[in-house]
Structure formats: C-alpha cells, structure tokens
Amino acid sequence: TRTVEQFDKVVDSVCPFCGVGCQTTVRVKDDLIVQVDGRDGPANENRLCVKGRFGFDYVRSPDRLTKPLIRRDDAPKCGDINLKGADPLTVFREATWEEALERASSGLTKIRDERGGQAIAGFGSAKGSNEEAYLFQKFIRQGFGTNNVDHCTRLCHASSVAALMEGVGSGAVSAPFNDALKADCIIVIGARPTTNHPVAATYFKQAAKQGRKLVVIDPRKQDLMRHASHSLVFKPGTDVALLNAMLNVIITERLYDEQYIQANVSGFEALKEKVKDFTPEAMEPVCAVPAATIRDVARLYAKSERSIIFWGMGISQHTHGTDNSRCLIAMALITGQIGRPGTGLHPLRGQNNVQGASDAGLIPMVYPDYRSVEDADIRAEFEDLYGRPLDAKRGLTVVEIMDAIHDGEISGMYVMGENPAMSDPDQIHARAALAKLDHLVVQDIFLTETAWHADVVLPASAHAEKLGTYTNTNRQVQLGRPAISLPGDARQDWEIIQDLARACGLDWHYGHVSEVYTEMASVMPSLKNISWDRVEREGSVTYPADGPDVPGNEIIFVNGFPTRDRRGKIVPADLLPPDEVPDEDYPLVLTTGRLLEHWHTGAMTRRAGVLDAIEPEGIASMNPREIERRGMRQGIMVKVETRRGTVEALLRADREVADGMIFMPFCFNESPANVLTNPQLDPFGKIPEFKYCAARIGLADTE
C-alpha cells in the first residue's frame, strides 16, 4: 500500500482492454505507472479484473518502438521471418520522422496515382480512440477515394451488427449489461464473460445471487455455469436448431406478446411457418439438449416479466453468425422483451473501443453513424464536408482485402494498431498477402507480427499516453486521459494520421484532439448533445442523449425502432451446417478464443509481466477423457493440424472442453492458432468461421 505522497500524479482514465469500459485511477511515479485501481464508473462501480489491474507495464516494455523505421533495401520481403530471433535492425533502419513520413506517403500516393485509389486499403483499430478511428476512415476515404477501410469488428460482431441493423435498425446494445440486476431471466449464450468481460460477469453472478434466473448456453462448459439456474451445453454449430426450437415452443404454446407484435413487429407469420418443424423433440438429437430443457428455458424467457439476452463470439463467429443473431432478435421481438429496463439485446462488445470505432465509420459500407456510402444524399453530405468526390460503392472487408492482395487488386496498405498477421484466419495466406504488398505502412507501439512485413513503421502512442474518447459496450462515451509521457520519438496517433494525410496532399489543420471530436460529432446524430466539454466534465455520457443537460438514454427502442416503418423486422433463419465438418482425415472440431490473462493477439498482455507469468505458453486444450482415449497426457507438445496448416502447442487437460473438440487461444505467436482457422465468411456480416473447423491432433515432431 502506498500513500498519496508517494505518487507524482493520479489520473482518472479508462481501462485499455475490453468493451466493459471500466473506469480506472492510474497512479504514476517517476513517469511510470505503479498502480491502477477501479474507479466508480457507471460500468464498473470500482471493480476491475486482472487485466485492468495488473496489465499496465507493457507501456514501458523495452520492445516499445521509439523511432520511425524504414525497411532496408536488401531485407527479404517475406512473411516467415523468425520473429523471436530476428534483430529488427537487420531488417529495418532507423529514420527521422520527416524521412519516414515522406517514404510512407510517397509509396501510397504512387499507387493511388498509377493504379487508382481502389488499390489502397486501410485497417484502423478498435484499440484507438473515437477521434483516431474517425480520422483514419476520413483519410482513406478522402485521400484515396475508396471505402476499403475496416477493422477488427469484422472478426468480432460484424454478423451481430448485420442482423441488428436489419432487425431493429441499430447495431448497438439496447440496454446496459448492468441491467442484468433488473432482469428476472438472463440468457448468456455463446459468450464467456468470466474470461472476456470479467467485470460484466460479476453483475451476472450478483444477479444470480439475488435470485434471478441465469441461463448459460455454450458448447464449452464455463465458470459462469456454477451460478446458473440452467446450463445448456450444446453441440457446436447447432445454434439455429436450439434457438428455433425455443421459438417453436414460444409460438406453439402462445407465449408471445400478441399486442406488442401487432404494434411493433413485422415478419411474425413467416417465422411461425419457418419454425413449425423445429420442435424440441426433433432438435434434441441435433443440438444434444434435452427437449424438456429447451421447453423450460423457452418458457422461462417468455413468461418472465423482464428477460435480457447477452451474446458473444460463440454466436457471431460462424458462417451462419447472422442467422444465429436473427434468432435471438426474433425471440426478443415476439415476446416484447425489449425497450424496458431489465430486457433487451446486448452483444457483448470485445475491444475497449470496438463500439466507438464502428460508430465512427471505420467500416467499408458506412460513414460515421452507420450511414450508407451507397446513399447518394448521405454521400453528398460527406463530399461537401470532405471537399472531394467519394466512392459510391461499398469497400472490401478485412478478409476480402487479403484475398484482393493475392488477386493483385490491392497493392498498398496503411495499418494502424491492428495485427492481421495474427488475428486473421488462415494466417499463412494472410501473411503471404502482407508480404506481397508493394507498400505497407504500419503505425503501432510494438514491432508486431504485422509490422515485420512493413516498408515503413511509425512509432505510436499507448493508451496511457493519450487523450481521447472511447465508447464501451453500454454506449457510454468515456474519456481516457494521458498518465505518462511518450517514449523516445513516438508520437500521438491522431497527429501521425494528420501528418500522413498532409503529406498525401490533404489540407488538414486540427490543433487538438477535441477539434476532431467536434467535427465527428457534427456528422453523428447519435452524439447530438454530447459535446467534448460534456464528456470531459462528466467523464462518461451514454448516447443517445435528449438534451445537453439530460442524462443519456440507457434503454433504447422504448417507442418502436429506428427503421423506416418504426417496426422491428423478423428474418427467420434456416439451419445450415458449418462450412467444414469433421471427417475421417480431420475428425475433431477446433474452436478458438481468448484467455482471461491475455488480450487478443497478445501484443500488449504478452509484454505485461504479471499476466504473461500466469499464462506464458501456447496451449491446446482437450477434455481429459479425449486425451486418455488418444494415449496422450497433459503437458506434452502436440501438433494440431487442419487443411490450412500445422501448429505445435502444449497439451492442456480441460474438463470444460467437450469430447471431440480442441480449444486454442489465438494470442500466442509461438503457437499461432489462426494458422489453422477457416477463412470462410458469413455472407452478410463477412465474418470468418473462427469457432468451428475440422482438425486432427498428434504428437509434435519434437515430442
């Protein structure tokens, strides 16, 4: 315990990791963060998880980039550099900012001028602030006349957003996760909040302790099931079978809200027709959940006064991810379990600012606030503001961009704070694409696996070094404040984007990050009444807000939906198999995800001493029964193989993993799980099927 005098500075900020958006107090001594505590923010009420509390020392890692780097002319342009062993200065040379910006901009403009702006693409980041996301999408759209701009929402909740936009006219949550405490029935499906949204999980546990019914539905067992009234462990990939069976019960037992449907919902008759054969008895052998349990849960959800649904990547990361979400939306719409406290639909957003980055237009089909690039009137408004003709067609998405590089359509990229060399599916293909680019500019705080492929590397700012707004999963716009200084010649991200934009010929003159916010808010109706000053003053404001002094609306869809006819739209879903199912050659199912201690591709948490000490090496987990059946034992090195590649990892026994399954986290670059994953996309959300592919396992060559 330290006394206040022992700190030079105490700064109010927000956690840089997950979408819960915990508010923090950061204590600084000698320009070093020495302690982080939870603050009384609306999302966390003083709580923090292990990442927020102990995962801060990565910012002073000796690996931080402190100088701009330019690739040496004789360095190989390949994707299989031995990342652990290589000395960066054998591949890159240090440069001044002037030279680096000149090299970065001339490479991009040369491609634009010779091949057209469609040959350029940009990946922004859900780790950056709203202002950085807004500037990044503006730079790509204004500077290159293309909508080829995307970020990791494509790998996360893109299918949920596609279904929500279609069904209820907004991709954001309808109620905060803290409303679990007001609900009578809480469904958590395809999510593992104790690992991925730990502070949100504390509210779910608290609600269960207070006697609310908690239903946890997942193909993997999990900690939260210990608190649940109902735990449904179903066969992976059969979400639609299970959910349509629940819809069948609600409809056949007339548990729906007829009045609500008549006033607010379209598509009910088509849903009735679609789910009539999905009886619980018919679906029991498909999803491996007893028919009686399906009936119980459907009745509980529909009959409760207030029911709320939370979901995560287990729903969205499938080739039928949009269909999975459509079923959840249909459940809420036909029962009227939406638009009131303690009810609603809440896709638990992953990254700290994936909600905000999406809202700010860092996606290829829409401008800020999800306004279509294909709508001539909306486009004219942005052309007016940006002073240039803009692209009239949707841009390519993350995985499509990698394919377009292989096809020779894209040859230049600007990547800010994303790590597609680790996060994209079919990693060998993704890294080969990065290596094939004529020009790659990477802006980051570390020499990530992606940055190793770059022609120019621009050293950027960590979360604890910058000022900006972040929007959490609850739609709360919160202020992150700088606590420590930038290392070496590293610079603020928004300033780097501006300097690069200027070097590419754009006339930008932002003097402060608040000016970027003000321009962004002027084109985002959702931020009306939420000025920079207000966010600075209040620290957290929920959007939408009805007035500059009125608290934001935590619950939306109270009086209809923001669709053309103000009605919610049901889109019935069919049961489709995963893209790649087990067979004789690959008899197991591989699923991927995160660990409590590590964040996404591990760039930050693998460099956080406490966190990496707890989970220091790449693992593949299987049920102990399955391990024994194969004559293996925990702790040996195994090789996991799919049709895309082979990865070695340490075998871990885990009772939560079902028989016939392998689970691998994707944060370890020594055991890169995404070498194995299937890049096949959901047709609507364009999200790859990270949660399911056919695999086999054997002893590693080294074992």
Residues near ligand SF4, by CB under 6 A:
15, 17-18, 20-22, 44, 48-49, 51-52, 197-199
Tokens 């342009």, located at residue:
77
Contact residues for 314 (Cβ-Cβ < 8 A; gap 6+): 189, 190, 191, 192, 218, 219, 239, 691
Nearer to ligand SF4, 199 or 622 (CB): 199
Give the residue with the Cβ less far from ligand SF4, 364 or 539.
539
Residue 616 token pair: 């220091």
Min dist CB 540 to ligand SF4, Å, is: 13
Cβ atoms 300, 230 nearer than 8 A: yes
Distances (CA, A) of 419 to 383, 415, 446, 449: 31, 8, 10, 7
Contact in structure between 148 and 364 (CB atoms under 8 Å): yes
8 A C-beta contact, residue 385 and residue 142: no
CB of 479 to ligand SF4, least distance (A): 15
Q: Of 23 and 411, which CB lies nearer to ligand SF4 in the complex structure?
A: 23
Distance in Å, CB of 195 to ligand SF4, minimum: 10
Pick 139 or 470: Cβ nearer ligand SF4: 470
Q: Can you name the residues that pair with 591 across neighbouring β-strands?
A: 663
* Residue among 146 and 353 whose Cβ is closer to ligand SF4: 353
CA distance 150 to 366: 10
DSSP 199-215: HHHHHHHHHHHTT-EEE
Distance (Å, rounded) from C-alpha 253 to C-alpha 593? Answer: 37
Q: How far apart are CA 599 and CA 619, in angstroms?
A: 15
**Closer by beta carbon to ligand SF4, 17 or else 692:** 17
Nearer to ligand SF4, 242 or 604 (CB): 604
Shortest CB 613 distance to ligand SF4, Å: 18
Kindly write down the DSSP assignment for every residue of 459-478, as one continuous string. E---GGG--EEEE-TTSEEE
CB of 551 to ligand SF4, least distance (A): 22
CA distance 482 to 11: 8
Q: Minimum distance from CB of 21 to ligand SF4 (Å)?
A: 6
Name the minimum Å distance from CB 283 to ligand SF4.
34
Q: Is 341 helix (H, G, I), strand (E, B) or coil?
A: coil
Distance between alpha carbon 297 and the CA centroid of its chain, in Å? 28
Check if the beta carbon of residue 348 is closer than 8 Å to that of residue 601: no
Report, in Å, the least distance between residue 17 CB and ligand SF4.
3
Minimum distance from residue 645 beta carbon to ligand SF4 (Å): 30
Q: How far apart are CA 427 and CA 435, in angstroms?
A: 12
Instruction: Please say which residue, 397 or 419, places its beta carbon nearer to ligand SF4.
Output: 419
Strands 371-372 and 366-367, by their bridges, are: antiparallel
Distance in Å, CB of 576 to ligand SF4, minimum:
33
CB of 445 to ligand SF4, least distance (A): 18
- Distances in Å between the Cα of 602 and the Cα atoms of 215, 262, 458, 606 are 31, 49, 20, 5
Q: What is the DSSP string of 253-305?
A: TT-S-HHHHHHHEE-HHHHHHHHTT--HHHHHHHH---HHHHHHHHHHHHHSS
| Count of beta carbons in the 10 Å neighbourhood of residue 72 | 12
Between 53 and 303, CB nearer to ligand SF4: 53
486 DSSP 8-state letter:
P
Of 196 and 244, the one with the shorter C-beta distance to ligand SF4 is: 196
Q: Which residue has the tokens 């934009």?
A: 501
CB of 42 to ligand SF4, least distance (A): 12
For helices 130-144 and 97-115, what crossing angle results, to 10°? 50
Exposed e or buried b for every residue in 535-572, given b needs 16+ CB within 10 A?
Answer: beeebbbbbbbeeeeeebebbbbeeebebeeebbbbbb
Which stretches of 473-628 are assigned E, i.e. beta strand? Answer: 476-480, 540-542, 568-569, 588-593, 619-622
Shortest distance, position 422 Cβ to ligand SF4, whole Å: 19
In terms of Cβ atoms closer than 10 Å to its own Cβ (0-12, 13-18, 19+), residue 458 is: buried
In the 8-state DSSP scheme, what is residue 33? Answer: E
CB of 670 to ligand SF4, least distance (A): 24
The string over 269-301, giving b where at least 16 C-beta atoms fall within 10 Å of a residue's C-beta and e elsewhere, is eebbebbeebbbeebbebbbbebebbbbbbbbb
Least separation in angstroms between CB 529 and ligand SF4: 26
Provide the 3-class DSSP secondary structure of residue 549.
Answer: coil
Nearer to ligand SF4, 198 or 417 (CB): 198
The two three-digit tokens of residue 336, written as one number = 């009227």
Exposed e or buried b per residue across 579-594, where buried means at least 16 C-beta atoms within 10 angstroms of its C-beta: bbebeeebebbbbbbb
Judged by CB, which is closer to ligand SF4: 48, or 399? 48
The residue at minimum Cβ distance from ligand SF4 is 52
Least spacing, CB of residue 241 vs ligand SF4, in Å: 32
Identity of the residue, 79 or 539, whose beta carbon is nearer to ligand SF4 in the bound complex: 539
Nearer to ligand SF4, 196 or 448 (CB): 196
| Cα–Cα distance measured from residue 196 to residue 5, given in angstroms and rounded to the nearest whole number | 35
Which CB, 198 or 672, lies closer to ligand SF4?
Answer: 198
Closest CB to ligand SF4 among 19 and 219?
A: 19
- Closer residue to ligand SF4 in complex, CB, 235/481: 481
